[in-house]
Amino acid sequence: MSTVISNVTNSGEAAEAPVQHISNVTITNQSASQREARASTTKVICCQRSGVPLIEVTSLCSNGWALLSQPLMGTFVHPVYGLALGKLCRRLELQLIDADHADWDMPATQIREISLTISALMYSLDAMWLPSEDALTTGRNIEPSLPDTKTTVGCAGRLLDLASWYFAETTRRLTFPLWKPSKNAGNLNWHGFSAWLDACNEIREDWATNKRKAENKELLRSTEDVMKLVSQAQVYKRIDTKKVWQWIELQASDYGAKYPAGRRETLRSLFMDGELQPELWLPDDCDDLIEMVTDTCDIGNDITSYIRNRVSNIRAAINEFYSDFTLIGGHQLRSGPGATGAGLELTAAEQTAEDNLFGEYKTKLLGLTELPPKPVATDYPNRVAALKATAEWNILSKLFAAHKAKPAPANDADAL
């Protein structure tokens, strides 16, 4: 906030005169030379890279200008240059959403913020030409630059697309040509930046072509390795399923829109451990796995034949797990005091299975004087066994409670 200073007479009394605004210090009853010396101790510090004003510093000592002119004062940069590449991409994305909604009819300060993000992205991409280390540490011979409004509006979206691709796809194994704004080149406002983007897009296309070639070589190598494994499995009856899945993943990853990474990871768990954890899956999951392999992989060879056999074994394990269940209509468990609902309507076969099941439990109740303790999952070798034991205990406890609630008959067998 600027401070008001009045003209003063030699006697120290204020005279009527226009008001002056200078730095953040109030000076009264001083000579013109004193006021000038005091005013010269305030300096605006600008960003070394963009030239944007950052802070205003006022010296509190005599001859403060010498202090404020030290090289250190020329080495400050805007905080946005400290953000990581991913955060800068997200920042620019949000800024462009706001700009599109406003049809770029925005205050100059907001457009300057977008220009700052563009500049920071370029530094994060290691695509900006940098002066010597001596120039950076002393702050001398530095030419700050920032895209003007026209360049910002025309190139921000293209740079965001390039930077997002670089961040997501390349794992930073690629280098871009250096962009060098300079006074001699007449492009401190970043005129010609679109040509730099054109050159980078050509590099991007070449990289994608080389990546596909490398992936094809990797797929060929993986196919050869897995074919050997499948052939050896016929002799040794063992196979490295991790390598088989890697062969699937190399091909399925090209269909990320239909089979995103999260879905592929789920199907990987099914392929690797499905027969060991059948309670986590359904037969439909096996269908999804086969569908992905059929859609994305080279089929009609020994590898896909092995995959189909493995998935069939996993499906059999899942079906066997569910075949151990008996569907209970609920009539016999709802027959006690306070029971509500009519239960499920079962088919004749299902009703027979239920009757047989409850016959076994009623036999157990004949010699049961107290309910056994509830099963603890840690006492069982796997989750399936723990679930089965818990279900059996739940049925037994309900029948036991109903049995205890009945009047004691002359014959325990009649009570059941």
pLDDT per residue of the chain (416 residues) written in tens, 0 to 9: 333 333 333 333 433 333 333 334 444 445 555 555 555 588 888 998 999 999 888 888 877 777 787 777 778 899 999 999 999 999 999 999 999 999 999 999 999 999 999 999 999 999 998 877 776 666 666 789 999 999 999 999 999 999 998 888 766 567 888 999 988 888 999 999 999 999 999 888 888 776 666 666 666 666 666 666 666 655 445 678 888 898 899 888 888 888 999 999 999 999 999 988 888 888 899 999 999 998 888 877 778 888 888 899 899 988 888 776 665 665 555 454 444 445 566 677 767 777 777 777 777 777 777 888 888 888 877 776 777 788 878 887 887 777 776 655 555 444 44
Q: What is the pLDDT of residue 341?
A: 45
CA distance 301 to 307: 10
The answer to whether residues 91 and 113 touch, using CB atoms and an 8 Å cutoff, is: no
The answer to whether residues 22 and 3 touch, using CB atoms and an 8 Å cutoff, is: yes
Q: What is the pLDDT of residue 256?
A: 84
Q: Which residues pair with 53 in a beta bridge?
A: 46
Q: What is the pLDDT of residue 73?
A: 77
Q: What is the pLDDT of residue 331?
A: 52
Q: What is the pLDDT of residue 233?
A: 57
The answer to whether residues 244 and 214 touch, using CB atoms and an 8 Å cutoff, is: no
Place of tokens 């899956």: 281
The answer to whether residues 164 and 96 touch, using CB atoms and an 8 Å cutoff, is: no
Measured over all CA atoms, what is the biggest interatomic distance in the chain, rounded to whole angstroms?
126
